[in-house]
Structure 1
Amino acid sequence: MQRLPLNKTRILLFSVDITITIASFYIAFLIRFDNNVPESLKILFFQQLVPLIIFVRGFAFISFGFYTGLWKYSSIQDITKIVFAVSTSSLVFLFILVVMDRAKVLSLTTTPLSVIIIDFLLVGVMLSSTRVFWRIWFERNQRKLSKNNGLTTKVLILGANETGNELIKHLKNNYPQYSISGFIDNDPKKANYSLSGVPVLGMTQELESIITKLDIEQVLITTSALTENVLNETIKTCQKMRIHYKKVASIFDISSKQIQITRITEFQISDLLERAAVPLDLVSMENMIRGKRVLITGAGGSIGSELCRQIIRFNPSNLIMIDIGENYLHQLKTDLSSYNSQSENHYVLCSIINEKKMKKLFEEFKPQLVFHAAAHKHVPLMEENIDEAILNNIQGTRIVVNLAKQFGVSKFILVSTDKVVNPTSIMGMTKYVAEKYVKYSQNQSNTQFISVRFGNVLGTNGSVIPLFLKQIKEGGPITITDPHMERYFMLISEASQLILQAAVLGNGGEVFLLEMGKPVKVIDLARKMVRLSGYTLEKDIKLQITGIRKGEKLSEELFSSEEEISASSHQKINVVKSKANSFKLPEEIDALIQMTKHSTAEEIKLKLAKLINTR
């Protein structure tokens, strides 16, 4: 039974339910005895049966979590709770009556079985009705307030699908100012049908006329199955009509087998690569995180900050966010301030190579889960700063790993990269050693060490998306290093969600590889971005080939010839199996760290390359 803090609202709701319970039980007697209950039964009812039914039903209501949610958001799940609670309490009540009958305390004849059956039906209907009526009243009241204040927004939903159906509930619960006019869907079989009472009005070709006819103010795009041309035309129509258009992000919860809406945001160019809703086991994630002390390094970065946003939803007891960037950390604190979470949030300005301060943080907070996302990641820049790459990516990782072992962290998850596969860049080499050290540390303590490897993430700081957008805004040129350059891409939200899912799956020692789809040519991505901005590449925006930069490869690999890939229990996560390290890793790392103090960049690089090649 979940223990809840007492407040006036919960006491009031509990009192209403108990009143309904007593009323239902008495009405059941009235029905059974044709509105002529014997006086002796009335006395028995108030003296013995009422206290008993209050105790049994009250305990059942609290045990089944009646007061953990809000009545104004009541759903079919709440009705299901009522059915189970009433069924259980009725059976328990009947059992107690049988025991009391045998103990000669109370005769079963005083409470006929028919009364219990009638009460079961009555109380279920009455409890459910209060929730339904309250929700209907709340929604109507909110719509009325929005209308009176001029806040109603007429919207169309593009995609009459499962996500669209879930979006209707999401809007009614969280955005009462939205007035849903209908669906747009390109499946001709759905024409003139309705979903949750909302009609399918037509196809995307009819979007302009529907917007004009119904005075639509906003279009919400729920489907990722649109072709580039259809999406392009939809956006152009909205821009022409000066209509706001937004995308609906969703996930598929494996445990409940349902789509869940995560957010409604402005449409981004990077959403061109959005795939189907990511299937996630939210129950397992919540069990892993809820009430736990979670520490995240690199928390202000693109992946780290998204991990914070995902994790805080599951209410950890403490969320310790570490980053060396003051501005990034400040922005993260600003972003998370609007989240309704029970966790204690700590924003720590610290470098992971500051071993003394890192140890102090582990001593103070004693984290149970560590997500290590801190890293220097920019390939060309690391070629010019090899010493900092080694200190941060290798030494920093070793410090955090060793502290995780020392302070009994339950799980340690390293955010890795596909650049560790046959690495040619300093960034890739240093992350390769970091990944190997994490795997090396398994079985040296009770900590489960896990690495998660994936490719480029769209929209991160310094990635091609912000660069191309800036170049398009400035009128060009778009700069491409090589027309044959291709990369594996995924979105920040997808990467972060799958990192959490991999953490759930891991038992220690695994290197997980996220499913990246097919590689995308960077020049094709540039063409899409230019086209969606209303221009044509080479005609309106010039293309400039700059040449491959130092450390770059034309294409990346997800695993090497010495590694084997096997499926995990999750369709978008694979397991990489590799040979054990054939070198003395701690000693080699010590030697590398020493070389950063006195050796030249070329000498350090040769040593690092030799270390990689002796695997």
Structure 2
Amino acid sequence: MLLRKLIAGIHPRLAVVVHDMLMVWLAWTAVSMLRWSLAPNPSPVSLFDTEVWLVLAAQGLIFWWTGLYRGLWRFASVPDIWNIFRACVLGAFAAAITLFLYNRLVTVPRTVLVIYPLVLAILLGGPRLLYRYWKDSRLDFVTRTPSQRVLVLGAGKAGEALVRDLKRENRYAPVGFLDDNPQLRGARLHGIPVLGTLDQLPQIARETAAEMLVIAMPAANKVQMRRAVELCESSELPFRTVPRLEDVVAGRSSFNELKKVAIEDLLGREQVQLDWTAIRTRLAGKRVLVSGGGGSIGAELCRQIARLGAESLTVLELSEYNLYSIEQELRRDFPDLLFNAWLGDCGDAATCERVFATAKPQIVFHAAAYKHVPLLQGQIREAFRNNVLGTKVMAEAADRSGVESFVLISTDKAVNPTSVMGACKRVAEIFCQNFAQHSQTRFITVRFGNVLDSAGSVVPRFREQIQAGGPVTVTHPEITRYFMTIPEACQLILQASVLGNGGEIFALDMGEPIKIRDLAEQMIRLAGRQEGHEIAIVYTGLRPGEKLFEELFHAQERYSDTAHAKIFLAQPRSMAWSLLLAQLRHGEQAMRDFDEEALRRVVEQLLPEFASGAGSGGATVVAFDSKAV
């Protein structure tokens, strides 16, 4: 018992130092004895003479200088072995210099100095690798749970790294890879064979008695990912995936983390290529203001702006909780960022004047808006006050403050609007387009569609309905929407802000529209449930102001390509400035009087298409094929 306590009291680092010094002594004396034994008149080798102590001292200093004791035996790897070899070679040089100064190397054969570092590297590296192998492969029969047999889809770098980590854990036992690359057929990675192609998944899964599937294809596009998921679903086995590359780079996930396949993985698109140099040049060292910075889009804009090196970031947010959340996150993740949190309404002129006077922003991203179509359909006063007059107040404050760029974040619902929300956003677009001709500030509008997993959007609603056991409610079997991820939308907003000179409307390429019915069915399957048997889909009918199809351009907005393949430029439709200001004054007065009928007339006079399509309450559905625009 006393000996056990004594051993336990020894610091692990000290034990490693003692081991390494013992190996130095063993290597030096063994090589010396071997060399002298081959001489015609061998001389006796002293085990602890001055020469040995000098070698120990020289080699020990080299070990310390090369950081040999900062590594852990438990995780010894190729870089550690290389560091050991480097330390042994440098130690041999140090020992040679020390012994030369001591006795001109009279008693040291030159072959000893050559063979010694090789022997020492083996004596130091061998125990480390053996210890790691023992720790990785030992079985704890008391606590170990049975390994789950895993079949990995994808034998690339991600699959190789995943299997390397899975083999360290007792919970998983990789049984094979599937990959469509014919050159990999029959190959082995970490002893695990590549058994076939992805199309053979159901058959190979049965033959290997696989219990779980893992999709290790983080660079797969949406078509490849959908195919892999369909094959996994056909096998009726549980499946997981590794995070996408952009999530790993952004720090949202660790590389080999196993997670459930999310709908974002299937609707995600090819990685957007951005001109980060131009974006960083525009934003780095600048004072930036984000209104609505606590919302889904606004918060992600704040994160990306902070990463790009803005001098200061000011957030104007009406929601106290959202403002608190983004403030805590940014202060934690970007401690050097000058951050200012303002609780207030962008439609409050006094608040805006104080914020602009204090923060002195050079670039403004106006993301504050009400966006829920059905809710706003009966709330035209609030929609007009926030989405139109709030934009006007912010834009005028930006103009008076000499802001360089003002970016209005708009929506595809502003095109041929049939809803109050879309109509008010379109009026805000018209104001910024025309105000650009009377201001030194560059007013730029960025228009895009639905954002996956944004607050109040269809994806989190479907997720809640599925978790509650259904039914999942869809308004119409044929309704379609454009989708993109929050990070992608914000990146393209930043890119568009660099492209604009003022007065433009930029529309983001949203890819192909997705049927909401297909979205609901896929989410039900991803949740491990069966559509129709366990979770029902109920069609509730189109809501007031809702379209079957969304579009990104009005028929009169001639659009053209830009320097970026994912961003299009729409030619603005001009309006008499005096008429626009007069209508907005009428609207402001109607808002103060709470005269909603007068407000509706103002919006209809500004937007004839809204008057013809939704003047009676927005119940009429107007559908256009976006490909024909």
* TM-score (structure 1 length as normaliser): 0.66
Correspondence for 1:432: 426
Matched, 1:613 2:608: yes
Cross-structure match for 2:414: 420
Once the two structures are overlaid, the 10-residue window that deviates more, 445-454 or 574-583, is: 574-583
Q: What is aligned with 1:230?
A: 228
Equivalent in the alignment of 2:590 = 595
**Which of the numbers 312, 316, 333 marks the counterpart of 2:306?**
312
Matched, 1:473 2:471: no
Which residues of structure 1 form unaligned runs of 5+? 1-139, 252-258
CA distance change for structure 1 residues 221 and 561 in 2, over 3 Å: closer, same or farther? same
Equivalent residue in structure 1 for 2:514, among 502, 512, 520: 520
1:410 maps to 404
The answer to whether the Cα contact below 8 Å between 1:452 and 1:513 also exists between their aligned partners in 2 is yes
Q: Which amino acid aligns with 2:602?
A: K
Cα offsets for 1:304-359 (capped at 9, x unmatched): 11111222111211111221111222222343344246322222211101221221
Residue 536 of structure 1 deviates from its aligned partner by: 2.8
User: 1:489–1:218: structure 2 CA closer, same or farther, 3 Å change rule?
Assistant: closer
**One-letter amino acid of the counterpart of residue 480, structure 1:** V
Distance 2:252 2:163 in 1: 11
C-alpha distance in structure 1 between counterparts of 2:150 and 2:341, whole Å: 39
Q: Structure 1 residues 496, 168: closer, same or farther in 2, change over 3 A? A: farther
1:292 matched to 2:290: no
The aligned counterpart of 2:109 is none
Which position in structure 2 is the counterpart of 1:111? none
1:358-395 residue CA offsets vs partner (Å, 9 max, x unmatched): 21111111111111110000011111211111110011
Answer with 350-359 or 204-213: which moved more. Answer: 204-213
Alpha-carbon spacing, 1:312–1:214, altered in 2? closer, same or farther (3 Å)? farther
In 1: Cα distance, 2:243 partner to 2:587 partner: 47
Instruction: Give the secondary-structure state (helix, strand or coil) at the position aligned to 1:247.
Output: coil
Aligned to 2:296: 302
- CA 1:344 to 1:591, structure 2 compared with 1: closer, same or farther past 3 Å? same
Q: 1:201 to 1:322 in 2, by over 3 A?
A: farther
Number of the residue aligned with 2:570: 576
Q: Residue in 2 aligned with 1:385?
A: 379
CA separation of 1:534/1:215 partners in 2, compared to 1, >3 Å: closer, same or farther? closer
With over 3 angstroms needed to count, the CA separation of the structure-2 counterparts of 1:199 and 1:452, relative to structure 1, is farther
SS state at 1:416 partner:
strand
- The aligned amino acid for 2:608 is N
Residue 452 of structure 2 corresponds to 458
Larger radius of gyration: 2
Give distance in 2, aligned partners of 1:169 and 1:244.
Answer: 16
1:531 paired to 2:525: yes
Task: Tell me which amino acid in the other structure corresponds to 2:295.
Answer: G
Unaligned runs of 5+ in 2: 1-128, 141-148, 254-258, 611-629
Give secondary structure in 2 for the equivalent of 1:428: helix
Match of 1:444 among 432, 438, 442: 438
Q: Which residue of 2 aligns with 1:245?
A: 241
1:356 matched to 2:354? The reply is no
Pairwise CA distance, 1:469: 1.0
Over 3 Å counting, the alpha-carbon distance change for 1:476 and 1:452 in structure 2 is same
- Find the counterpart in structure 2 of residue 497 from structure 1: 491
**Aligned-residue offset at 1:421:** 0.9
CA contact (8 A) 2:213 2:237 kept: no
Aligned-pair CA distance for 1:485: 1.4
Aligned ranges 1:203-352 → 2 under 5 Å: 203-204=197-198, 205=200, 220-222=216-218, 223-224=220-221, 225-234=223-232, 240=237, 245-250=241-246, 263-264=252-253, 267-340=261-334, 342-352=336-346
Aligned to 1:104: none
Cα distance in 2 for residues equivalent to 1:236 and 1:332: 42
Task: Indicate the SS of the match to 1:580.
Answer: coil
Does the 8 Å contact 1:451/1:512 carry over to 2?
A: yes
CA offsets per residue over residues 103-142 of structure 1, 9 Å max, x none?
A: xxxxxxxxxxxxxxxxxxxxxxxxxxxxxxxxxxxxx9xx
User: Is 1:294–1:367's contact at 8 Å kept on the other side of the alignment?
Assistant: yes
- Aligned mates of 2:197, 2:398 — CA distance in 1: 55
C-alpha contact 1:185 1:202 (8 A) present in aligned 2: yes
Structure 1 counterpart of 2:415, one-letter code: V
Q: Deviations over 1:70-108 (max 9, x none)?
A: xxxxxxxxxxxxxxxxxxxxxxxxxxxxxxxxxxxxxxx
CA shift for structure 1 position 214: 12
Deviations 1:271-306 (A, max 9, x none): 211111111111222111111111111111111111
1:397 to 2:395 alignment: no
AA matched with 1:438: C
1:373 matched to 2:371 = no
SS of 1:405's equivalent in the other structure is: helix
**For 1:424, what is the secondary structure of its paired residue?**
coil
Residue type of the alignment partner of 2:462: F
Task: Kindly indicate whether the alpha-carbon contact (under 8 Å) linking 1:316 and 1:342 is maintained by their aligned counterparts in 2.
Answer: no
Following superposition, the deviation at residue 563 of structure 1 comes to 0.9
1-side partners of 2:589 and 2:250: how far apart? Answer: 50
For residue 543 of structure 1, what is the aligned residue in structure 2? Answer: 537
Q: Is the 8 A contact 1:156 1:220 kept in 2?
A: no
CA RMSD of aligned residues (A): 4.3
* Pairwise CA distance, 1:187: 3.1
Within 2, Cα distance between the matches of 1:316 and 1:424? 39
Taking the aligned partners of 1:232 and 1:337, their CA distance within structure 2 comes to 42
In structure 2, relative to structure 1, the CA distance for the partners of 1:401 and 1:528 (3 Å cut) is same
Go from structure 1 to structure 2 and tell me whether the alpha carbon gap of 1:580 and 1:461 turns closer, same or farther (over 3 Å shift): same
Contact 2:465 2:471 in 1 (8 A): yes
Structure 1 residues 214 and 410: CA distance shift in structure 2, 3 A: farther
Counterpart of 2:397 in 1: which secondary structure? helix
| Mapped partners of 2:404, 2:290: distance in 1 | 14
Counterpart in the other structure of 1:22: none
Q: What is the DSSP-based 3-state SS (H/G/I as helix, E as strand, rest coil) of the residue aligned with 1:442? A: helix
Q: In 2, distance between residues paired with 1:487 and 1:370?
A: 28
Label 1:367 to 1:245 Cα distance change in 2 as closer, same or farther (>3 A). Answer: same
Q: Give the drift of 1:268.
A: 2.1
1:499 aligned partner, one-letter code: I
Cα displacement (A) at 1:263 = 4.2
Q: Report deviation, 1:266.
A: 6.2
Contact kept? 1:232, 1:532, Cα under 8 Å: no
**Counterpart in the other structure of 1:560:** 554
Change over 3 Å in CA distance of 1:170–1:446 after alignment to 2: farther
CA shift at 1:429, angstroms?
A: 0.8
Q: How does 1:160-171 map to 2 (within 5 A)?
A: none
| 1:553–1:214 distance in 2 versus 1, CA, 3 Å | closer
Structural mapping, 1:55-66, within 5 Å: none
Could you report, residue by residue, the CA deviation over 1:52-78 in whole angstroms, capped at 9, with x for unpaired residues?
Answer: xxxxxxxxxxxxxxxxxxxxxxxxxxx
Distance 2:305 2:193 in 1: 37
Question: Is residue 157–residue 221 contact of structure 1 (8 Å, CA) maintained in 2?
Answer: no
Number of residue pairs matched by the alignment: 464
Q: Classify 1:416/1:464 alpha carbon distance in 2 versus 1 (closer, same or farther; 3 Å).
A: same
CA drift of 1:540 comes to 2.1
Following TM superposition, by how much is the alpha carbon of 1:190 offset from its aligned partner in structure 2, in angstroms? Answer: 4.3
**Which has the larger displacement, 330-339 or 561-570?**
330-339
| Amino acid corresponding to residue 612 of structure 1 in structure 2 | L
Q: Tell me which residue corresponds to 1:74.
A: none
Shift of 1:201: 7.4
Asked whether the equivalents of residues 488 and 516 of structure 1 are also in contact (C-alpha less than 8 Å), the reply is yes
